[in-house]
Structure 1
Amino acid sequence: MTIQAVIFDWAGTTIDYGSRAPIVAFQQAFANVGIEISEAEIRQDMGLDKYTHIHKIISLPTVQNDWQARFQVLPTSDDCDRIFQDFKSILLATLTDFAHLKPGMDTVVDFLNSQQIAYGSTTGYDEEMLATVLPIAANQGYRPTVNITSAQTNGIGRPASAMLELACDQLEVTDYANVVKVGDSINDILEGQNADAISVGIVDGSNLMGLSQAAFDALTAAEQLVLRAKVTAQYEAVGADYILQSMVDLPALLTKLNQPVSDAQ
């Protein structure tokens, strides 16, 4: 096998350890209308485009009940639109604080460049959000050749494969079986599977783990082990092809996948 391209997610995968920026923005936007939402309620659908994600959250029974108790009516599409615009303003104002590359990404970029493996991204960000993080990432050495949002696929985002397929098409890769999709959420894994690509889940700093680096580092070794096992089990449950503890491990996996079958066994 020859790996022709690697397609990354953004928050929680390549930047923003723990995928914290969207959580902060979602919680604040809903708090601004008097509705409290938990991290767990947000994270279960992480990886969707943000507008769709707002609709998912507002459709939760707990949110519907709280909304009706507070306003005596159920939320409408106009309410979703207003919350999304507030969410977007909050996120855009804070993205720069969370756009640091995750540990190991510099090594990954060096490896991909040295091996001449193309790389790009698909994302739940919209164009304006992406435009904010791209130059910050570029200043740190991370410059994906293509960056696909659902606006480029007629609104079709994860877990469908449309964004991943478009990224591959723009990279002139025709065999999706030779593409590696790297992400940190269940929807990332499903996106890769739906394109018949190789799906890779990252454990440390992922959406599924949900902790900032400082919070994770503050855990005992035993607590870290338990948390990593919990995240690994979630990836296994949806059939991820490979599960890596951190991005540091990706070059070794790509090297293995690039070996002839007889050598790799």
Structure 2
Amino acid sequence: MSIQAVIFDWAGTTIDYGSRAPIVAFQKAFENVGIAITEAEIRQDMGLDKYNHIQKIISLPAVQNDWQARFQVLPTSDDCDRIYRDFKAILLASLTNFAKLKPGMTSVIDYLDDHQIAYGTTTGYDSEMLSIVLPIAVKQGYLPAVNITSDQTNGIGRPAAAMLELACDQLEVTDAATVMKVGDSVNDILEGQNADAITVGIIDGSNLMGLSEAEFNSLSESDRAALRTQVAQAYQKVGADYILESMAELPALIDSINQPVAND
């Protein structure tokens, strides 16, 4: 078996170290209606498309309680729509500040190009958000062959397999066992599993880690090691096939998988 295609996530995986842009936008959008939400409350459902993610947040018991205390009623679908519109405006205005490629991505791109391995993306961004980050990524040398959002799958996003399956169809890869899904959240791993692909979780700069590059680099070696272990355990818990400390390790992993098996 050899890897025929690699499907990446965007924020926290290939760009935006720590997946900071969505966190900031979620918090500001809820703050604008007088509701404080924590990073932990946001990150537990990262990887979903953004509208469904807001539905998840607004359904949290703590958020419902705070909402009822403030407005004397529970939040409605109209409230969800309003928060989503505000969130999207905030995110669109800030995405250009969070589109830098993560460390190791340049060498990964060169490796995939040199070995003629196709690569594409699935994402929780919608098409308008993607239209902002993609040109910035292209200027840095990152040009995925396909980029799938839930806009293209009738609103079906992660953890379902629909986006990943569409990416494979567009890349004309028919054997899911030769496809590698690389992501930085639990929902990325679940998406890959649901599509029967090989799943790879990235530790450093991931949503699961949640720190900016400066914040991570300011930690002691022992604190970095402890945090990496914590993230690895989260991937292990959901059954990721492989767990890498950084994206720079991906070429070696693909080489090891593509090694021919010697006959006995």
TM-score when scaled to structure 1? Answer: 0.99
Question: How do 1:51-62 and structure 2 match up within 5 A?
Answer: 51-62=51-62
Partner of 1:228: 228
Partner of 2:101: 101
Cα distance in structure 1, aligned partners of 2:153 and 2:128: 16
Q: Which amino acid aligns with 1:57?
A: I
Q: Which string of whole-angstrom CA distances, capped at 9 and with x for unpartnered residues, describes residues 214-255 of structure 1? A: 000000000000000000000000000000000000000011
Q: Which amino acid aligns with 1:81?
A: D
Q: Which string of whole-angstrom CA distances, capped at 9 and with x for unpartnered residues, describes residues 129-165 of structure 1? A: 0000000000000000000001111111000000000
TM-score when scaled to structure 2? Answer: 0.99
Partner of 2:137: 137
Identity among equivalent pairs (%): 75
Moved over 2 A (4+): none
Q: How far 1:262 sits from its partner (Å)? A: 2.7
Partner of 1:157: 157
Q: Which string of whole-angstrom CA distances, capped at 9 and with x for unpartnered residues, describes residues 14-54 of structure 1? A: 00000000000000000000000000000000000000000
Cα distance in structure 2, aligned partners of 1:262 and 1:254: 17
Question: How do 1:170-249 and structure 2 match up within 5 A?
Answer: 170-249=170-249
Cα distance in structure 2, aligned partners of 1:2 and 1:168: 15
Q: Which string of whole-angstrom CA distances, capped at 9 and with x for unpartnered residues, describes residues 110-146 of structure 1? A: 0000000000000000000000000000000000000
Partner of 1:90: 90
Cα distance in structure 2, aligned partners of 1:218 and 1:99: 22
Cα distance in structure 2, aligned partners of 1:262 and 1:19: 41
Q: Which string of whole-angstrom CA distances, capped at 9 and with x for unpartnered residues, describes residues 81-110 of structure 1? A: 000000000000000000000000000000
SS of 1:228's partner is helix
Q: How far 1:2 sits from its partner (Å)? A: 1.2
Partner of 1:121: 121
Cα distance in structure 2, aligned partners of 1:160 and 1:185: 14
Q: Which runs of 5+ in 2 are unaligned?
A: none
Q: How far 1:260 sits from its partner (Å)? A: 1.2
Cα distance in structure 1, aligned partners of 2:185 and 2:33: 28
SS of 2:262's partner is helix
